[in-house]
Amino acid sequence: MSAETDRSKAGIPKLADVARQAGVSTATVSRCLNDPSVVSERTRQKVMKAVERLGYAPNFGAQALAAKRTNTFGAIIPTMENAIFARGLQAFQEELGAHRTTLLVASSSYRPDLEEEQIRALVARGADALLLIGYDRTEATYEFLRQRNMPFVVSWAFDAGHSATTVGFDNRQAMQTLAAQVIDLGHRRLALISAERRDNDRARERVAGVLAAMADTGLAPDDLTIVEVPYSIENGSSAFAQLMARADPPTAVLCGNDVLAAGALTQAKAMGLSVPDDVSITGFDDIELAQIVDPPLTTVHVPHRDMGREAARTLIAARNGTEKVSSLKLQTQLVWRQSLGPAPKTG
Amino acid sequence: MSAETDRSKAGIPKLADVARQAGVSTATVSRCLNDPSVVSERTRQKVMKAVERLGYAPNFGAQALAAKRTNTFGAIIPTMENAIFARGLQAFQEELGAHRTTLLVASSSYRPDLEEEQIRALVARGADALLLIGYDRTEATYEFLRQRNMPFVVSWAFDAGHSATTVGFDNRQAMQTLAAQVIDLGHRRLALISAERRDNDRARERVAGVLAAMADTGLAPDDLTIVEVPYSIENGSSAFAQLMARADPPTAVLCGNDVLAAGALTQAKAMGLSVPDDVSITGFDDIELAQIVDPPLTTVHVPHRDMGREAARTLIAARNGTEKVSSLKLQTQLVWRQSLGPAPKTG
DNA sequence: TTGTAGGCGTTATCAT
DNA sequence: ATGATAACGCCTACAA
């Protein structure tokens, strides 16, 4: 009882405590922990027992301060609320884990100022490398990264013209391919429920993809109605309702991602509209949700797991500084499911 | 060009660089940054300009080492793959953000050994407090936490008998209430698709809840078929198929969470079964998905956002050490939707 | 293989 | 209001 109290009041064990307990020097303890191959087995045993007995854990601050590396990578994603980034991040972490590297995740709520804050926090914390989503951030942020010589990779996007190392996919191209199919099915009055484009290059590129497909077929940009809302099922629903309330409602509603599309679908059902007979709906991402809704969503499959894994490998290579790192463009794939059909004969 | 090169090769600016640039001592710079009210306005201006010019950012390791606090909380969740923890965590983070505290998230893949590793990592990194999910972890882990005097709160569960500060809900009670309703509707052959119970007290408690409800009505435990699978839509589907293939298929399939239920529902549809006419299905959590599937899920609403917010407040109080912290039990709520109906007249 | 000792960048105490 | 300077806990040449 009193021992218990004493113990909790006692200071946190430090390297020196372990050293004393084991009857060796701090240097030996340090070596035991960081490069066991260099100490004798007998010493190692002693030290590890002391570590165990004392419940010692290294002080990260001191460790980082002295060693200038942390075996920690950081990732800043816009949101944890929906599954868009979950699968890719999981794969990212799995790959890091295989290399004894810890992942710290922060989320920016789609706000560049918060993202910069999180980047600084992670860098200050000694992250060895960073995973970032998309290109949209201030030049000052890039400058900060460069100045600190911080390895980072941009993901969930791909712009060959950008200097940042990237492991991602071409949002515009992907959306353009999908939109082309929609147009091919006879749809002329199109609508797009997009994420907010400000500070979100992926969203902008997807919009651009739709417009490009339309231009290819001689459709005017005005034939596309765009509604911008934050990603959420509910917002998808209300945006869809708003679109269908127009005098000249669209025959196909493309959505910036599957979450919005799921909302749109639900709303269509609530309005007694048949999908795809009355109106077609498409998504983007191909998260699990896309297969669950009824009808299942025609969407763009993004290789999230590959992306996460490859991003991790790229960063690990960059951290080790051995290989030269290079960008990697992954392919997306159109997934045909029932939510997309031919345009209705006439309105 | 060469300036650029020089710059990137130049070391990271430190406090002393700023001090030199501003013509003051390091102590003054430190004060400027941490408690500006105590330095003269003129000095502050000078220092801030130097900070700006040099792109200075404090070294977290050194800071943590010297100040013994980090304004960083950690959270270890079992998985980021599905939305179960997303909403609560988002609320947790929002509350922390309002108190200038950063959140670092790690995930354990439902493995206690990894969880302990992550806990140690976060503690070593100087986390001021931790959010943990559920009670299942080794005594050694608790001992470690206690020894380091690390404030932590257990969430997503509630056991009045446990000594750990908890902000959560009673999984057993919640599931028992739901199961009682199912039984009340005449269902006698019940099945449960559960998450793996090993190392997961929430899953065990939910199973216990079903059994308790059955016992209340005099049903034998044998009347419940249990299938254990990791959380995923696909696993929900295959488990459901397996259950319905039995000689005496259940009339109601309860699921450990909404994700499994969504999978079960999809599978039912694929098998041409009508829900709830042929078979009833229920979920747990009330994530967005529950309202999207068709028919929408009868489920247990968990106040994720409240839980996250309150957990944050509790930890902040604990960190500040002013107020005495206490556990908080939140109420869940049964949500009636269409996936649950009366038992079919006869098999 | 093991020990000694200097240094990592900040904070905070004590003078001034 | 500001400056010197001693911790903080660990790593890593360098020595033995």
Interface of B with A in 112-131 (CB under 8 A): 114, 118, 120-121, 123-126
pLDDT tens-digit map of B263-285: 999 999 999 999 999 999 999 99
Contact criterion met (CB < 8 Å) for A81 and B58: no
CA distance B221 to chain A (A): 32
**Using CA atoms, how far apart are residues B258 and B276, in angstroms rounded to an integer?**
16
- Looking at residue B130, its pLDDT comes to 95
Interface of B with A in 306-335 (CB under 8 A): none
Contacts of A147 in chain B (CB under 8 A): 7-8, 12, 55
- Looking at residue B279, its pLDDT comes to 97
* Nearest-by-Cβ selection for A147 from B55, B82, B120: B55
Question: B291 touching A, CB under 8 A?
Answer: yes
Strand C proximal residues, B:46-65, Cβ < 7 Å:
56, 58-59, 62-63, 65
Share of chain A above pLDDT 70, in %: 96
Q: How far is the CA of A26 from the C1' of C4 (A)?
A: 10
- Looking at residue B322, its pLDDT comes to 67
The mean pLDDT of B280-306, rounded to a whole number, is 95
A37 φψ region: left (φ > 0), alpha (ψ -120 to 50), beta (else): alpha
Q: Which of A122-131, B110-119, B128-137 has the least mean pLDDT?
A: A122-131
**Using CA atoms, how far apart are residues A178 and A300, in angstroms rounded to an integer?**
7
**Using CA atoms, how far apart are residues A89 and B108, in angstroms rounded to an integer?**
13
- Looking at residue A319, its pLDDT comes to 82
Cα torsion angle, A224, A230, A236, A241, sign: negative
- Looking at residue A8, its pLDDT comes to 31
Looking at chain B, which residue has its C-alpha nearest residue A55? B144
CA distance A227 to chain B (A): 21
Contacts of B143 in chain A (CB under 8 A): 55
**Using CA atoms, how far apart are residues A74 and A102, in angstroms rounded to an integer?**
8
SS (HEC) of chain A: CHHHHHHHHCCCCCHHHHHHHHCCCHHHHHHHHHCHHHCCHHHHHHHHHHHHHHCCCCCHHHHHHHHCCCCEEEEEECCCCCCCCHHHHHHHHHHHHCCCCEEEEEECCCCHHHHHHHHHHHHHCCCCEEEEECCCCCHHHHHHHHHCCCCEEEECCCCCCCCCCEEECCHHHHHHHHHHHHHHCCCCCEEEEECCCCCCHHHHHHHHHHHHHHHHCCCCHHHEEEEECCCCHHHHHHHHHHHHCCCCCCCEEEECCHHHHHHHHHHHHHCCCCCCCCCEEECCECCCHHHHCCCCCEEEECCHHHHHHHHHHHHHHHHHCCCCCCCEECCCEEECCCCCCCCCCCC
- Looking at residue B7, its pLDDT comes to 28
Contact criterion met (CB < 8 Å) for A291 and B266: yes
**Strand C–CB A39 distance below 7 A:** yes
Closest CA to B304 of B160, B90, B77: B90
B3 has a pLDDT exceeding 70: no
- Looking at residue B136, its pLDDT comes to 96
- Looking at residue B346, its pLDDT comes to 63
Residue B98 or residue A208, greater confidence: A208
- Give me Rg for the CA atoms of chain B: 26
- Looking at residue B325, its pLDDT comes to 87
- The Cα angle at residue A187 between residues A267 and A195, in degrees rounded to 5: 50
What b/e string do you get for A35-49 counting C-beta neighbours within 10 Å, with b at 16 or more? eeeebeeebbebbbe
Q: Which long-range contacts (CB under 8 A, 24 or more apart) does A106-109 make?
A: A106/A74, A106/A75, A106/A76, A106/A77, A106/B102, A106/B103, A106/B104, A106/B105, A107/A76, A107/A77, A107/A78, A107/A79, A107/A80, A107/B90, A107/B93, A108/A76, A108/A77, A108/A78, A108/A79, A109/A78, A109/A79
- Out of A117-121, A249-253, B314-318, B322-326, give the one with best mean pLDDT: A249-253
Contacts of B81 in chain A (CB under 8 A): 83, 86-87, 90
Number of cross-chain residue pairs from A and B with Cβ atoms under 8 Å apart: 152
Find out whether A129 and A343 touch, Cβ atoms under 8 Å: no
Average pLDDT for runs of 10 along chain A of length 347: 31 87 91 87 90 84 81 89 85 85 85 89 82 95 85 96 97 98 96 96 98 96 95 94 96 96 95 96 95 93 97 90 86 97 81
